[in-house]
Amino acid sequence: MVLEGRSKVLKGRRKQLEGCRKLVDGHIKLLATEGSWWQAVGNCGMTVGKKLLDGCKKYLAGRRSRKKLLEGHRKMLNCRSKVLEGCRKVLNGRRKVLAGRRKLGDGRRNLFEGHRRVFEGRWKVLEGRWKVLKGRMKVLEGRRKVLD
- Report pLDDT digits (tens) over 73-93: 777 777 777 777 777 777 777
Q: What is the pLDDT of residue 28?
A: 58
Per-residue pLDDT, 112? 66
Confidence of residue 117 (pLDDT cuts 50, 70, 90): confident
Gap between the Cα atoms of 66 and 144, Å rounded: 9
pLDDT at position 107 is 55
Per-residue pLDDT, averaged over 16-21, amounts to: 66
Q: Are 81 and 88 in contact (CB under 8 A)?
A: no
Higher pLDDT, 78 or 62: 78
Query: What global pTM score does this model have?
Result: 0.30
Per-residue pLDDT at 80: 72
**Alpha helix (H) ranges present in 62-108?**
66-104
Task: Examine the pLDDT at 18 and tell me if it is beyond 50.
Answer: yes
Check whether 135 has a pLDDT greater than 60.
yes
Q: Which of 96, 16, 22 is nearest to 57 (CA)?
A: 16
Taking the domains of the chain in order of start, what are their residue ranges? 2-147
59 C-beta neighbours (distance < 10 Å), count: 20
Residue 47, pLDDT > 60, answer no
